[in-house]
Amino acid sequence: MNAGAKEQIVTPWEVKGNIDYDKLINEFGLEKIDMKFVLDEYEKGNKFFLYTGRAPSGHTHLGHLIPWMFTKWLQDKFDTELWFQFPDEEKFLFKKDLEYEKVQEMVYENMLDVIALGFNPKKTHFLIDTKHAGIMYPEAIKVAKKITFSTVKSAFGFGNEQNIGAIFYTAMQAVPAFLPNILEKNKKPRPCLIPHAIDQDPHFRVSRDVIPKLGYYKPASIQCRFLPGLAGIESDGKMSSSSGDNSTIFTIDNAKTVKKKINKYAFSGGRETVEEHRRLGGIPEIDVSYQWLTFFEEDDKKLKKIYDDYKSGTLLSGELKAILITKLNTFLSAHQKKREKAKDKLDDFIYKC
């Protein structure tokens, strides 16, 4: 999962053998104390719960799936509760022209993708900010009372022209990190582990200071690196649906679209001519197709062989792209079937107040 982790590739699907906590902590760039705390508590029988989320504004793309798949892996391995937030006000408040109704459609579409990944319906609870405001807002104000405009100004770079909903919003994002302790008062207070993409870090840096003041455990974070956009690692580093459909593969894209997008837009680390490629070899470090395979190919040996073959010039760019296309379309074909079935499962996942 970590950008510098070429030798040890940890995919969201599986990790073989015993988990090397110290190595993971180091690679994820976490403060050691926090992750250690959560795991120590776990070993003492004080199981953490997981919290992650998705701020809906458009269709789910493959980049969104990375931290969710990692979260599912954590849920499976540790057999934990997961609170999955859909803050349907966030993008609405931060994007001038985004309409409330559009966001509501996307909440639905995004929920299908989350369910399709196979989270345990008995242990997974969706919180949709506007639908669950009745249980979230009373807690958000307690968080909000302890955060000044100065703090969010520096954490998020807000100016005075920022709207007051966006200013308040971080308080809503803090709530699921302790809400389960309130909803299940009969249980012992439990720590919270938050797997999230690195762009959410400012929210959790703010809330990690506040939550202990309210009498709950300081939440621990695991941050994921971004799946690069098709246009390449150097151009933006994050796949974004707002930077155009062609830099993004959506979970609803069909096989033909995937093939076209990869062949046409995936930045290549190959050489100008076949002859030159055979002689000099490709550059996997800048090749988006290879980089994507580091996320989607779970077999370390296969991945190593692809790297070596591409680097040596044995594997051509078109062949590398073909490997990725097959990989993605196999995955998406299965995902889309599960996504259809998810339409009947929403009720099992949306938290009932």
Which is nearer to a second copy, 134 or 157 (by Cβ)? 134
Which segment (26-34, 74-82, 128-136, 241-249) binds a second copy by CB under 8 A? 128-136
Footprint (CB under 8 A) of a second copy, residues 53-82: none
Q: Figure out which of the listed residues 1, 69, 115, 152 binds a second copy, where binding follows CB under 8 A.
A: 152
Taking the C-alpha atoms of residue 347 and residue 155, their distance in angstroms, rounded to an integer, is 36
Indicate whether 47 belongs to the interface with a second copy (CB under 8 A).
Answer: no
Indicate whether 178 belongs to the interface with a second copy (CB under 8 A).
Answer: no
Which is nearer to a second copy, 211 or 224 (by Cβ)? 211
Indicate whether 170 belongs to the interface with a second copy (CB under 8 A).
Answer: yes
Task: Name the residue type at position 168.
Answer: F
Indicate whether 330 belongs to the interface with a second copy (CB under 8 A).
Answer: no
Q: Figure out which of the listed residues 46, 120, 162, 257 binds a second copy, where binding follows CB under 8 A.
A: 162
CA neighbor of 108 nearest in space, from 135, 75, 81, 130: 130
At 216, give phi and psi (nearest 5°).
-115, 165
CA angle, residues 77, 83, 84, in degrees to nearest 5:
105
Footprint (CB under 8 A) of a second copy, residues 334-353: 353
Interface with a second copy: number of residues (CB under 8 A): 40
Indicate whether 174 belongs to the interface with a second copy (CB under 8 A).
Answer: no
Which is nearer to a second copy, 141 or 334 (by Cβ)? 141
Q: Figure out which of the listed residues 140, 175, 193, 324 binds a second copy, where binding follows CB under 8 A.
A: 140
Which is nearer to a second copy, 87 or 282 (by Cβ)? 87
Indicate whether 253 belongs to the interface with a second copy (CB under 8 A).
Answer: no
Indicate whether 13 belongs to the interface with a second copy (CB under 8 A).
Answer: no
Which segment (19-27, 164-172, 271-279, 319-327) binds a second copy by CB under 8 A? 164-172
CA 115 to chain centre: 14
DSSP state of 80: -
Q: Figure out which of the listed residues 7, 157, 164, 347 binds a second copy, where binding follows CB under 8 A.
A: 164
Indicate whether 244 belongs to the interface with a second copy (CB under 8 A).
Answer: no
Strand, helix or coil at 195? strand
Taking the C-alpha atoms of residue 328 and residue 309, their distance in angstroms, rounded to an integer, is 20
Indicate whether 134 belongs to the interface with a second copy (CB under 8 A).
Answer: yes
Which segment (1-9, 48-56, 143-151, 329-337) binds a second copy by CB under 8 A? 143-151
Which is nearer to a second copy, 206 or 342 (by Cβ)? 206
Least CB distance to a second copy at residue 183 (A): 15
CB under 8 A, 24+ apart: contacts of 12-16: 12/66, 12/67, 12/68, 12/69, 12/70, 12/72, 12/73, 12/295, 13/69, 13/73, 13/298, 14/73, 14/298, 15/73, 15/77
Taking the C-alpha atoms of residue 66 and residue 163, their distance in angstroms, rounded to an integer, is 31
Indicate whether 91 belongs to the interface with a second copy (CB under 8 A).
Answer: no
CA neighbor of 219 nearest in space, from 244, 234, 201: 201
Q: How many Å is the Cα radius of gyration of the chain?
A: 21
Indicate whether 182 belongs to the interface with a second copy (CB under 8 A).
Answer: no
Secondary structure of 203-268 as H, E, C letters: HHHHHHHHHHHHCCCCCEEEEECCCCCCCCCCCCCCCCHHHCHHHCCECCCCHHHHHHHHHHHCCC
Binding site for a second copy (CB under 8 A): 89, 92-93, 100, 129-134, 136-138, 140-150, 152-153, 158-168, 170-171, 353
